[in-house]
Amino acid sequence: MPPISLYLSTRTPQPEDSKYFDGIFVPYRETVGRVYPEHRNHPYVTFSVLGDTIGLQQHPERAAVAVTGEKALIHENPYDGFAWSWVCPLEPTHRTHLLALLQEVPQDTVVILEDLQFPNERYCACPRCTHDRAHRGPTDLQTWRIRVIQEWWQDIQRVRKGKYAWTLHPDPYALETRFGVDLESLEVDLEFLHFPIYCTSYGLTYWMEILVPAILQRFAQYRVLLELYAEEPPIAGLWKALFVLTKYRPDGIVLYDSRQRYQDLARALVKDRDLQKKVLAIADPVFQDLVERIRSWV
């Protein structure tokens, strides 16, 4: 049984991180809109395409708009409850800016595209998109959304031929219908797909037992990396979540962690007898390989 690769996604990479992980993801452009030009030569960079919380504070007219009229802004849209603000996918200034940023990234770098999708099935009904739909002739909202994302992808390919991966909503069955992402129609050659499976505690994990196998089954033709949020949850919860992911054998596990909490995962195994007993009792050779690997970090 091949071991599962382990990656770290961090805003604050430290030289020693690469001793412990198979790859380090650093942000080149975050969902808030912050750009880190110093990161663009790293082997893996995350790149938010349509998230722009900071930019939309100054230019709310660039936001995606729901069919019911609300803008896709964080804190101002209780119906959708977004974690960041979303730009309209047809906004031209934003697109020009993003494509220029992409051109700066070396071809060997894997650009992990984030938020290259519609916010959800209620978007986008801004005047620009309404005009675009009318101009293209009669089509339903779903087909139109897929076409808009296809064109984004083509523009990205035009300005930079290089390695790409794609971060997607952890929704195994509705990427096409809700978000406009139809991977089959894009003829994409991707290094991997990447799904965040986030919780602030991982106290309950039954929902992961449903979601994780469904994602792996649906996207079996791709390499699939699953990401855990590691900055906040208790260490026992993180160990539980690590096992749930391992059980279903993704190609890789990513820890989102800018606080080097991954070292607490290792320390707890040595110090916390109760946790050690629970973790070592799990009879799964691939998981135990992972346990051994993490324990060696102390």
SS3 assignment, position 286: helix
Give 19 or 135: the residue with its C-beta nearer to Zn ion: 135
215 forms part of the interface with Zn ion (CB under 5 A): no
Shortest distance, position 153 Cβ to Zn ion, whole Å: 17
Give 41 or 130: the residue with its C-beta nearer to Zn ion: 130
Shortest distance, position 252 Cβ to Zn ion, whole Å: 34
168 forms part of the interface with Zn ion (CB under 5 A): no
Give CA angle at 109 (152, 157), nearest 5°. Answer: 25
Which two three-digit tokens encode residue 71?
A: 């803008």
Give 88 or 212: the residue with its C-beta nearer to Zn ion: 88
72 forms part of the interface with Zn ion (CB under 5 A): no
User: Which residues, including other chains, have CB under 8 Å from residue 190's CB and lie 6 or more apart?
Assistant: 164, 165, 166, 222
126 forms part of the interface with Zn ion (CB under 5 A): yes
User: Which member of 72, 87, 129, 146 binds Zn ion (CB under 5 A)?
Assistant: 129
SS3 assignment, position 7: strand
Which string of x and - marks every residue 76-95 that binds Zn ion (by CB under 5 A)? ------------x-------
Give 72 or 193: the residue with its C-beta nearer to Zn ion: 72
Shortest distance, position 285 Cβ to Zn ion, whole Å: 50
Shortest distance, position 93 Cβ to Zn ion, whole Å: 13
Shortest distance, position 127 Cβ to Zn ion, whole Å: 8
Q: Which residue has the tokens 């697109």?
A: 95
CB atoms within 10 A of CB 238: 24
Helix 235-247 to helix 273-280 angle (10° resolution) is: 10
Find out whether 168 and 193 touch, Cβ atoms under 8 Å. Answer: yes
Report residue 275: phi and psi, to 5°: -65, -45
Give 128 or 293: the residue with its C-beta nearer to Zn ion: 128
Give 136 or 259: the residue with its C-beta nearer to Zn ion: 136
Shortest distance, position 96 Cβ to Zn ion, whole Å: 16
Residues touching Zn ion, count (CB under 5 A):
5
Please report the DSSP string for 201-236 in residue order. S----HHHHHHHHHHHHHTTTS-EEEEEE-SSS-HH
Instruction: For residue 267, give the nearest of 248, 239, 286, 240 by alpha carbon.
Output: 239
Shortest distance, position 199 Cβ to Zn ion, whole Å: 31
124 forms part of the interface with Zn ion (CB under 5 A): yes
Find out whether 109 and 41 touch, Cβ atoms under 8 Å. Answer: yes
Given the rule CB under 5 A, which of 127-135, 136-144, 172-180, 254-262 is the region that contacts Zn ion?
127-135
Report residue 217: phi and psi, to 5°: -70, -45
Give 128 or 169: the residue with its C-beta nearer to Zn ion: 128
Shortest distance, position 65 Cβ to Zn ion, whole Å: 6
- Sequence length of the chain is 298
Q: Which residues bind Zn ion (CB under 5 A)?
A: 88, 124, 126, 128-129
